[in-house]
């Protein structure tokens, strides 16, 4: 279990035990980090995960407040970080993506038009300006979905969307916890876009393979670290 996951589990236990109730303000960051014996960065990542699924509310300049003790949300806090630990689920889904997406990207490179390239460029620009991880990952999904549509094979595009959707949480958590994951993702997107714009199918296939395989490898490593 990573330090961030451990911090998340400890905070969840404090809430589920009733130590902190809905409306209660959590201790200030330095005090809570010392109590949990984690770094302030790990604590911030744990709080961010709880905020994403609305267990806590982070109010800038005010503090962090408990919003809910509902069992399903507290359970969701755990599933948020362990989804990518289920090697029989997410890693296998990413393995399917690694087979399908490079093929779709190669097909798209041979047939993509100016309008679709402009739409992809706009998505890349939006990703660069994204103000949250959730927005970035949503736009990332749109980027890959648009490329799949440009393959000219609607069945292939549908399959790619079907296997991509269940990996969203894992991709959000990677963006939060892995150093420069967003920057690397942006760089790989730009290389895929350049290959599409140059109508180079094999180059597009290669960069799409590298892109998906990188996420797959990170999840495999993260899963192996879980007892």
Give pLDDT tens digits along the chain (227 positions): 466 667 777 887 787 777 888 888 999 889 988 988 888 887 887 787 777 666 788 888 888 888 865 555 545 554 544 443 454 577 788 888 999 999 999 999 999 999 999 999 999 999 999 988 888 888 999 999 999 999 999 999 998 988 887 777 677 767 766 767 888 899 999 999 999 999 999 999 999 999 998 888 877 776 665 44
The residues, any chain, with a CB within 8 Å of residue 192's CB and separated by 6 or more, are 105, 147, 204, 207, 208, 211
The residues, any chain, with a CB within 8 Å of residue 37's CB and separated by 6 or more, are none
88 is written with which tokens? Answer: 């029989």
Per DSSP, the three-state class of 180 is coil
pTM here? 0.64
The residues, any chain, with a CB within 8 Å of residue 214's CB and separated by 6 or more, are 184, 188
Architecture of domain 3-81 in CATH?
Orthogonal Bundle (1.10)
Domains in the chain: boundaries:
3-81, 86-224
Length of the chain as a residue count = 227
User: Can you name the residues that pair with 103 across neighbouring β-strands?
Assistant: none
User: Under CATH, domain 86-224 is a member of which superfamily?
Assistant: GntR ligand-binding domain-like (1.20.120.530)
């Amino acid at each position: 279990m990573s330090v961030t996951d451990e911090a998340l589990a400890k905070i969840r236990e404090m809430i589920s035990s009733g130590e902190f109730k809905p409306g209660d303000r959590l201790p200030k960051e330095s005090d809570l980090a010392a109590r949990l014996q984690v770094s302030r960065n790990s604590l911030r990542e744990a709080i961010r995960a709880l905020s994403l699924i609305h267990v806590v509310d982070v109010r800038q300049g005010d503090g962090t407040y408990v919003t809910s003790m509902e069992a399903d949300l507290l359970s969701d806090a755990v599933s948020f970080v362990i989804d990518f630990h289920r090697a029989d689920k997410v890693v296998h889904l990413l393995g399917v993506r690694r087979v399908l997406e490079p093929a779709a990207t190669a097909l798209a490179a041979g047939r993509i038009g100016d309008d679709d390239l402009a739409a992809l460029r706009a998505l890349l620009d939006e990703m660069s300006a994204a103000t949250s991880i959730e927005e970035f990952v949503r736009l990332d999904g749109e980027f890959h979905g648009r490329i799949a549509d440009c393959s000219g094979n609607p069945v292939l595009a549908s399959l790619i969307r079907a296997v991509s959707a269940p990996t969203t949480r894992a991709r959000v958590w990677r963006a939060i916890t892995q150093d420069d994951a967003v920057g690397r993702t942006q760089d790989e997107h730009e290389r895929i876009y350049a290959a599409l714009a140059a109508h180079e199918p094999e180059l597009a296939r290669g960069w799409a393979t590298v892109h998906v395989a990188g996420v797959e490898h990170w999840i495999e490593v993260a899963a192996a670290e879980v007892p």
